[in-house]
Structures are given as structure tokens and as C-alpha cells.
Structure 1
Amino acid sequence: MSGDEQWRLLEQLVQEVNQQTEQLKQMQDKMRDLSATSRSKDGMVSVTVGPQGEVRTIDLDPRVYRKLSPSELSASIVEQIGKAAGQVRGDMKELMEPFVPGLPTDDLFGEAMNFEAFLQRPGRSPGPRPPM
């Protein structure tokens, strides 16, 4: 292989790495912006969660206090949080699948899935991997 061919190959590899790095950055941005909202069948409770399953908003219809007991309201809120978190996990899985081909994504995208755990931060050694 000539020197020119080696340089072209190196330039091609650098281009591919840069392209993949940009795609990963875009995926990270999309993941940070992920959210899902779940509304109860009766429309009384609506919950929005973020990419880590954190509750961002809980919206209650003003009539909820007349229609549901405290325990029913609590159960409805918890149910909507679970549904919205499941939606976010599904969206996250869909975003990451092209970057983790062949890996058991169902195991990776369980309730405790945390994308940042897969990334090594500059100047830090990788931490322990989450149990599978």
C-alpha cells in the first residue's frame, strides 16, 4: 500500500469516526429532550415524565377531588407515572438500538436504564457496569 493510499484510508477512517461521533451527540441531545405523557382513561389525571423517569408534571382535573377517593387518586397517579416511564424507555430503546446492535436491548432498557452509565466521562475511569 502506497503512502497516498494510506493517507486516503486514514482520512476516510477519521471521517467515519467524526460522523459517528456527531450521530452519538445528536442521539444524546434527543435523549435529554425525551418525555412522555400518560393520561388516565377518565381524563382526570395526566403525568409527564422525563428521560430518567423523573416526574415533570402532574395535572389534575379540578373535578378529581369530587370523583376519586384519595386512594383512587394516588393509584391513578402511580399508574400514569408507570405508563409514561414505560413510553420513555421504549423511545430511548428505539433511539439507541442502531448504536448497540446485537446487544440484549431488553436487558439494557429495564427500569433502571441510564444512558450515561455507558459513556466514559473525560478524565474519569469507567464505573461499575449496572447488573444485567
Structure 2
Amino acid sequence: MDNRALRARADELLGELERMRGGMGALQQRLQAITATATSDDGLITAVVGPRGQLVRLDIDPRVYRRPDSRQLAQSITSTIQAAAAEAMAQVSAACRPFLAESDVQAHLAFDLQGMTHRLDAELGLLAEDKEKR
């Protein structure tokens, strides 16, 4: 990579950083406001989760007591919460898309520490290779 290309890439990265900084306040507010709701297939369980997939509200229709099966009820609650959490993560990903690469967002949401640094490592690797060529 010649100096001109290196400078262009540095300018591109600085522009990306400035764009991210400029929208971070609004993004943070948008992320904090995210909620997702899911209802079980039978309509008896409704779960509302926040932006991290944390349970905010759980509604259980009293009709569940007509079929007293604790294992089935637990499975229904679990799968309903998981569905709501998946929707919340999709909303978080969509909100972050203008600011971060999709792979970076997915790595963060999956707590993939190696994936979170993958793009930066690749950029630094390219810079190191260019430096060695000089």
C-alpha cells in the first residue's frame, strides 16, 4: 500500500469514527428504548424484553391452569422469552447498522471477543505488511 492509499484509508477510518461519534447519543437513546414482544403459539404466554434480551414483563393467561403441565409451561415460557430476545437483538442490530459493520455487531451480541477485534486485527495486519514492504 503506497502512502497515498494509506492516507486515503486513514481518512476513511477517521471519517467512519467521526460519523460514529456524531450519532452515538441518538443511537444510545434508540437502543435503550428497544423492546420486543413475543407470544407463545397457544397465545397463553406473552414476554416483553428489553434491548439486552432481559425480561421486562411476563404475562401468563390464567387458562394455563386448565392443563397443569409444569414442564410444558416452563418450555413455553422459555421459548417465548427466547423469541422476544431474538427480536430485540435483531432490532439492536438494525439500529447499529449505520454505525458499525454487521459482523462487528453480531460479534458483540454473541459476546465473541475474537470476532469483535477481527476487523481491527485485519486492518492492523495490512498496515504492518505495508510497513514491512518499505
Give the alignment's TM-score, normalised by structure 1. Answer: 0.65
Which structure would you say has the larger RCO, counting Cα contacts within 8 Å and 6 or more residues apart?
2
1:91-115 residue CA offsets vs partner (Å, 9 max, x unmatched): 00001111113744432332x48xx
- How many Å apart are 1:21 and its aligned residue? 3.8
**What's the % identity of the aligned pairs?**
26
- Aligned in 2, Cα 1:73/1:84: closer, same or farther, shift over 3 Å? same
Poorly superposed stretches of 4+, deviation over 4 Å: none
- How many Å apart are 1:34 and its aligned residue? 0.7
- Aligned in 2, Cα 1:82/1:63: closer, same or farther, shift over 3 Å? same
Contact kept, 8 Å, 2:93 with 2:102, in 1: the verdict is no
Q: Separation in 2 of the partners of 1:103 and 1:61? A: 39
- Equivalenced residue count is 100
Q: In the alignment, which residue of structure 1 is the partner of 2:86?
A: 86
Q: In the alignment, which residue of structure 2 is the partner of 1:47?
A: 47
1:12-61 residue CA offsets vs partner (Å, 9 max, x unmatched): xxxxx5x7545211110010111101101110000111111111111011
Q: SS where residue 43 of structure 1 aligns?
A: coil
Q: In the alignment, which residue of structure 1 is the partner of 2:100?
A: 100
Q: In the alignment, which residue of structure 2 is the partner of 1:63?
A: 63
Q: In the alignment, which residue of structure 1 is the partner of 2:28?
A: 28
Unmatched tracts of structure 2, length 5 or more? 1-17, 116-134
What is the Cα-based RMSD across aligned positions, in Å? Answer: 2.5
